[in-house]
Amino acid sequence: MMKNSLIGNYCVFVMILLFMGTCIIPGMAQNTEKSPISLRGNWLYVGGSGPGNYSRIQDAINDAATGDIVYVFDDSSPYYEDIYISKAISLVGEDRKTTVIDGQNTPRFELNGENIILRNLTIKKGNLNILGKNILVKNIIIPGDPTVVYAINLYHCDRIKIFDCLIQGSTYGIFAWMCKHLDVQRNNFIDNYYNGNFFGGFQLSRWSRNYWDDWDGFGPYVIPGQFGIYLNWYNFDWHPAEDPYDI
């Protein structure tokens, strides 16, 4: 009887430990760094015909709070304005091909902060400057212009994701200055003089499954750069796409 009692108590003790583990481990996981995709908040609308909708994107950005989504309708496109985002919000267009922001040859489209999302837009006559951490750029079209030197210019960045974008017709498609943990995937690089380039800060960056119009079809695609002033360095896209994506 004593032996059975001890076994029963032991089983109960093990069950309690297992239950506590199922509660504690998810709680610990929630403390890990989260992707900006998880942002949620109020919706602010630009364009369209709804009551209270904004007519300028930057006005909606200025009024947005952390976690809010600024949604831009395409029926008022193109929007002729500069854009500056320094807070943790999402800027989302209705359709990446028809929701157009025209910078009129000014360089002022800047993401300078943390936990920012930019999605579903075309950026014309301007380059995208990114300074910050934990930023997602997805489904963006930058069609290029003779006046644009850098389609996407990254400066002292950390944990930047650039997915499913069309980067076309600039001197530099992407130029990364002293950045780390870049994640560049499934983009089209077309008709740029230099598709990708970087200076320093190459740590743990990933370029994967991008379409490069100057890839020769064999082996990885080489992204040239420099580490320091005199040392040439390289990143690689080990699985370049054979055909351009429908972006």
pLDDT in tens, 6-61: 334 433 333 333 333 333 333 323 333 334 444 568 999 999 988 999 999 999 99
Q: Are strands 231-237 and 221-227 parallel, antiparallel or unpaired?
A: antiparallel
pTM as predicted: 0.82
pLDDT, residue 22, reads 32
In order of 182, 192, 209, 214, the CA distances from 244 in angstroms are 21, 14, 10, 12
CA gap 3, 47 in Å, rounded? 76
pLDDT at 128 over 50: yes
pLDDT, residue 36, reads 45
- pLDDT category of residue 1 using cuts at 50, 70 and 90: very low
Domains and CATH numbers, the chain: 35-237 (2.160.20)
pLDDT at 5 over 60: no
pLDDT in tens, 169-201: 999 999 999 898 999 999 999 999 999 998 876
Mean pLDDT score across all residues of the chain:
84
Residue ranges with strand state E in 104-149: 109-124, 128-142
pLDDT in tens, 49-94: 889 999 999 999 999 999 999 999 999 999 999 999 999 999 999 9
